[in-house]
Structure 1
């Protein structure tokens, strides 16, 4: 963590994160460090944060629906399995609830969900993590 007055030095290394199967079911910070109290995670590799996206031709087609379990979303905005989905909206409109309920509805299915919270306060992230742990989704 950087604080005012912290000394830093250049490493000439591109920003990236550790990756691998060991991260499935774990809660990590933006640097890929575990914050769930379950110990270290053995990474299979390291990937740069910024890299060119694969071309449309190289991508696997999205042809299988993914039911969120929320009727209003499933009927009006079908989501494809393997598709990234951004949930945006004003504060206090239920964005986190939609994401967590969708993840909960994938429990027991052969689906890997990745929840990425951008910008919320740490207490809100802890609340989301506790919810997932309580529901045994992780």
Structure 2
């Protein structure tokens, strides 16, 4: 009786196991290569969100070439800062297998903070003099 139940469980488990294993690969990562890949995946997702918000800000500044140039310069400087900061933060594990993950996690953390800044810029109210991004029409 226990054998058929185990077989049924194994069959049902194998049907859903690939999707569950894929979903939990990062949560249950136990080797450095997987943890590095998961950190890279997280950064790519954050970077995609950041780029979407950046394009929205550019869209709101389309009629102001001077502010657009300032935005581009600020974003380039921010990327240089983020990368340099994370290179510094990870220097304690320089050359180790964990370094890529530390760099990627640092970049992801700073990118998420930048996302929040962009969201704040995009939600400015009319008359907010501290905001360079005009409100949505």
TM-score (structure 2 length as normaliser): 0.22
TM-score (structure 1 length as normaliser): 0.21
Instruction: Return the structure number with greater helix share.
Output: 2
Q: Which has the larger radius of gyration?
A: 2
- Looking at both structures, which has the greater relative contact order when contacts are Cα pairs under 8 Å and sequence separation is at least 6? 2
